[in-house]
Structure 1
Amino acid sequence: MEETLVYRSKIKSLLLLIGSIGFVLVCLWVLSFLFTEEELPRKGAFATIVAPFGIVFFGYCAIIAFRHVLNNRPFFILNSAGLLDQGTRKSELFIPWSEVNEIILSKLRGNKIIIVEVKDPHKLNQSASSFDKFLSSANSMVGYDHPVFSANATTLSNQELYDLFNKYFDAYKQQNRETDTQPK
């Protein structure tokens, strides 16, 4: 089976960049009231605490979005060996089809997610960065031990990505059945 590349949506990344810059500008505008004579209701607490955090947070989001706009690497690479995730984590995650038990399309608070149920979820995190391990442990605390994906940042819908994952996983299972039934 041919390799399939799934790319990040440039339009969604650009919208995230524009939105982030907009929020940074709003936070700067709110912060500017500290240095003027104009009154802003409860200006002290809001302007001195929330606005700087907003500038830092949305500034960071803008930097990440800008990097995503310039990034031409595939988000996911699917082939007969497995699934390579280059978009949802700081470090790459390769999931061999031999480690996959099931692929599930589920909903989490109204958002569709794809759960790749693997034989040993902790084995996948051995080569992950410490930040990725932290995020995986946070997922485990809310009941998701297995890798969870969403197509929200890609050019595909969640249903299309789920179908694509299953197409490759089914091809792997079919190939293994044929290999197992061949006389030796």
Structure 2
Amino acid sequence: MKAKIEIPLSRNKIIRLTIGSLLLVLAGVWLFSHAGNFRDMPLPFLRNPIVIKGFGVLGILFFGGTGIYGFRKIFDKRIGLILDSNGITDNSNASSIGLIEWSDISVITTKQVMSTKFLLINVTNPEKYIGKAKSGMKAKLMRSNMKIYGTPLSIISNTLKYDFGELEKLVQTEFERNKNVG
């Protein structure tokens, strides 16, 4: 590797995502407080106030969590993503684990869910990285990623000052350059 490549977090993107989470929390509060007003819904289960309140509570909890994470991330001074001779140091999302060594990476693939693209970092020993999780919630999130995608590690550009297509090329190029080194 020529030099260390640092990709900073995008405060603007994080602020927009946090505001979006706040708006969805407010929508959850609205659903909860207006649960009895859905008598004209075409599907019978959507007329049930308990179901509507359940959706409201789930929205408040999930988007409240993402909003808190986003608010904390706004003030995060760490670099979002670092590529160097050791590997990829990821601080881009809630399941980020820090350094992913080149020698542990077997393949890097791209996945798209709805409009969000992300890189899946397949490693030879996933449990090594799940074990690095500093909280039970992060470990659960990583195990969920493992079940769904076959790897606990993913990188998104939603919080980075970088275009996803360029990020994908850069990470693949650096992986090819460094996978047999060391």
| TM-score category, normalised to shorter length | 0.7 to 0.9
What CA distance in whole angstroms lies between the structure 1 residues aligned with 2:23 and 2:108?
A: 38
* Aligned pairs for 1:47-58 within 5 A: 48-58=53-63
Match of 1:114 in 2: 119
What CA distance in whole angstroms lies between the structure 2 residues aligned with 1:160 and 1:5?
A: 14
Identity of paired residues, percent? 25
1:115-159 Cα offsets, whole Å, 9 max, x none, are 223222222223223333322322232241362222222222222
Range 161-170 or range 74-83, more displaced? 161-170
What CA distance in whole angstroms lies between the structure 2 residues aligned with 1:30 and 1:109?
A: 25
What CA distance in whole angstroms lies between the structure 1 residues aligned with 2:146 and 2:152?
A: 8
Residue 6 of structure 2 is aligned to residue 5 of structure 1: yes
* Aligned pairs for 1:1-184 within 5 A: 1-33=2-34, 40-42=37-39, 44-45=49-50, 48-89=53-94, 92-108=97-113, 111-129=116-134, 130-145=136-151, 147-173=153-179, 176=181
What CA distance in whole angstroms lies between the structure 2 residues aligned with 1:146 and 1:49?
A: 29
The gaps in structure 1 that reach 5 residues or longer are 180-184
Match of 1:182 in 2: none
CA drift at 1:83: 0.9
Letter in 2 for 1:17: T
Letter in 2 for 1:99: D
Report the TM-score, using the length of structure 1 for normalisation. Answer: 0.73
Q: CA RMSD in A?
A: 3.0
Q: Residue 108 of structure 2: SS of its match in structure 1?
A: strand
What CA distance in whole angstroms lies between the structure 1 residues aligned with 2:154 and 2:77?
A: 23
CA drift at 1:14: 1.4
CA drift at 1:168: 2.4
Report the TM-score, using the length of structure 2 for normalisation. Answer: 0.74
The gaps in structure 2 that reach 5 residues or longer are 40-47
Q: How many residues align?
A: 172
